[in-house]
A and B are shown apart, each in its own frame.
Chain A
Amino acid sequence: MPELGRKGFGLLSILSVLLLWELICRAGLVNLSLLPPPSQIAPALWKIVASGSFLVPLGQTLGMLLIGYTIACVAGVALGLLMGCSDYLYGLLEPLVEVIRPIPKPALIPAMVVFLGIGAGMKITMVALAALFPVLINTLQGVRGVDPVLLATARTLGCSRLATIRKIILPASLPMILTGMRVSLSMGLVLVILAEMLAAESGIGFLILDLQRSFQVRPMYAWITILAAVGLVLNVLFEMVEDCAVPWRAK
């Protein structure tokens, strides 16, 4: 089926959900002050987009997300590879990773504020810390899951450790790594919004909370829509990167 037809389906389902939403509101089944229909949210959305006032908060949120995410990905892949290939490093770091991982990062805010303050640094660290683990775990799992036949072949051909990592392990684990990075992207977005809600004066997360607090629900939903769009765009971009990086993956 042509690409257009595929996208068409998707669009159709989104539109039907919106229609349902509109009908539910019109039927009076919900309190309109708390859940306005799309027809009321759209003008608020248009106002924000047309005036360009969405650019600054968007830039701030995306900026923090991208910095934190990049750090998390680089560190996650590096650590994952190291821990996967070296027993010693695995033994050294695994307990620490397993101890920090289950702690919800917002629970660490009091400690982080003590060391990093309340500024962008603290928030980026929170984002990076939260996004680190899915990448790390998936890289580890990917490295572990490398077909032993491939490794035996490498040994037979006399490949060095580094070459083996570069030419066999990394490409073989790439699908897993990319899946992990994908999860990390969503995690990172959640954390950046949460961080902005907890201690910020700007950014999309802060705006949504602020509008909720002053009960301006229509602009609030407009911003949530923008956030959803941002998330979608990020995902589409990621998928494009994924297609380039692992074209050999069976589709």
Chain B
Amino acid sequence: MKIFHTHTNKINSHFKNVLIYIFILLAFISIPGKISAQENSGEGRLLEGDILENAAEKSDNAEISIDTYQENLLALLKNPINVNKATPNELRNTTLFTELQIRDLKRHVEIYGELLNIYELQTIPSFSLEDIVRLKPFIVFSGSNKSNEPFIKQLYEGDYQYFFRIGGYLEQQDGYVADSLGNTEYYGNNQRIYTRFKYNYHNKLSYGITAEKDAGEAIFGPSQPQGFDYYSAHFFKKGTGRMKALAIGDYELRIGQGLIMWSGFGFGKSVYPVTVRRAGPVLDSYTSTNENRFLRGAGITYAFKNVYVTTFASYKKLDANVSLVDTIDSEVIQVSSINDSGLHRTDSELEDKNSIKETIAGFDATLYKGQFNVGISAIYFKLSSPLYKNPDLYNAFDFAGTSLFNSSIHYNFLWRNILVFGEAAISDNLKGAILNGIVMPVDPKIDIAIVHRYFSPEYQTLYAETFSDGPTPQNESGTYFGTEIKPLRGWKVSGYIDVYKHQWLEYSSDAPSYGTDILTQLTWQPTRSFETYIRFKHEISDRNAASDNFEDALTLNVITPIEKATLRWHSDYDVSKSLTVKSRVEVSFFNEQIGLPEKGYLAFQDFNYHPLSSPWSFATRFAIFNTDSYDTRIYAYETEVLYAYSIIGLAGHGTRAYFLLTYSPFKWMDIWARISNTWYSEAEIVGSGNNTFPGNTRSDYKLQVRLKW
């Protein structure tokens, strides 16, 4: 995950949601005619577009990455799926279709025979024109989804890619400055290095290896004897026979709606308000660089007629904060937290590295019967040393000890046009969590979605992540209502309202707390080349009042409703086939109910130039920002080198600019070079601790090469 660079450490922890948004974007934003453009720039364009940075404001303790999903989509782009031949589950696993569309498509094929072309898809009511434009690059109407090649040939007749990426800050941060004895806080230099080899055979078989070092981590030397800080390898095969999927090495696992297990991306609250259901393959390859949130071992999905049984096992080491050590053989007796940052730069960070071992095993069995499916699953976690968090009231019910058992029932049911889905789970302390949702196209122009959830404060999980306001399905109950309305051609109104409650204390609220989260957006797209929208987001949630914040666990703070709002205008215009300009103005408000509300703004202008005939292309931005405080910071997505992401939260007063150059001299080679700079007009010191920058600017460079053959 350290392929990101951020301006504050705090922002780093917000990435999960941001990634989720990128994911949704990839999946759902229509990029008419762009995806099918030439392959190279096509890939670049997938990453662009309107990224929903406001999600980054949500704090989170877990990180997941969308690399796998993005790669799957790109692989699908190269090897489109034949929708006539694909089974419902194969269509589901692409995550591009709704349940309703899958059913209608299959019915259509059954009644009228195979579809001949994309135009015939328009005759199916559940496929809107927008859907068809979005799906077009990923689907075909002839050819086979099965591989004819023998297994051995699948192992080497596909596409190979190799990536090498290096980047870092130009300024020297304090952690790299030697003290009088010549020692530095960080063991390594300030470069980030990422390298990766991947193989893909028609989206059916893949394997690869990824290695990475974060800024400040050494390569070899006493602190990193094995070279890179992080290695990951995987082998993944999709099957069309009885064996549906096989994962060896690092993999992702998703069950039901995520109440007991969800690694990788899942939908949450977004500007796609009716996309609320979790779906996707149970097993998937893992190719990201988050160093903790994945499974390492093996998993297999096998079909016994209509019942798909997935069994999985994982064993890996985790970073954890050691709180008690056996003084004789220095064995870890107890840990106080599991550390997801994946950073191993200093002595204390290295101490935590791989300090405990985690074993996971379980199964999922899902019965598919027509428009209905229901599954049961169970998962068992075991840590080599017990986890005991520093006792505090807010974490009184969190998981503690060495082993945890979770079990759940999940279902999906499509009745007429109405999709009902849900999951109910329990943990081994017999506390439960339940989530149910409904998605209805009540009118051809109106879709609505409702999700209700109740998560007991005492429900315990380790890898769960679901549709909720908080990061995990614990201590929350709430109701969500989302709608998407297309009243006139080119116009769209989308919005949601989520009202939720935390029955027990939370980290930042010393009393049961309530929240209301509202988003509305009006989008106007008069032509394919121009889109503009206005978005208003407003959230009120109870937090400890800042004026009397006691750190003492025994003193309870007074809670107060905190109000946050942003208003954004954005426009995106394709001036010609090769030039896109984007503009944005965003204002933010933050009101703690004491003193005056704080405010801030951000404005930027982008130019993205991708001439079709030239091997060169570039993307650049100039932004100005002025915010009263860190609380009124504004996030903005930036165009990055392929497979890297940056979402920058800007606070203070200054400017931000970047320039990304892409050069594709040969068919088998692409080069990206990027430089960015943030200048603060007032700040004397930028950053904090070991990450303190000298002066009031910070500049970041990145260079990436891809070879493919």
Our verdict on whether A and B bind, yes or no, reads: no
Which A positions have Cβ atoms within 8 angstroms of B? none
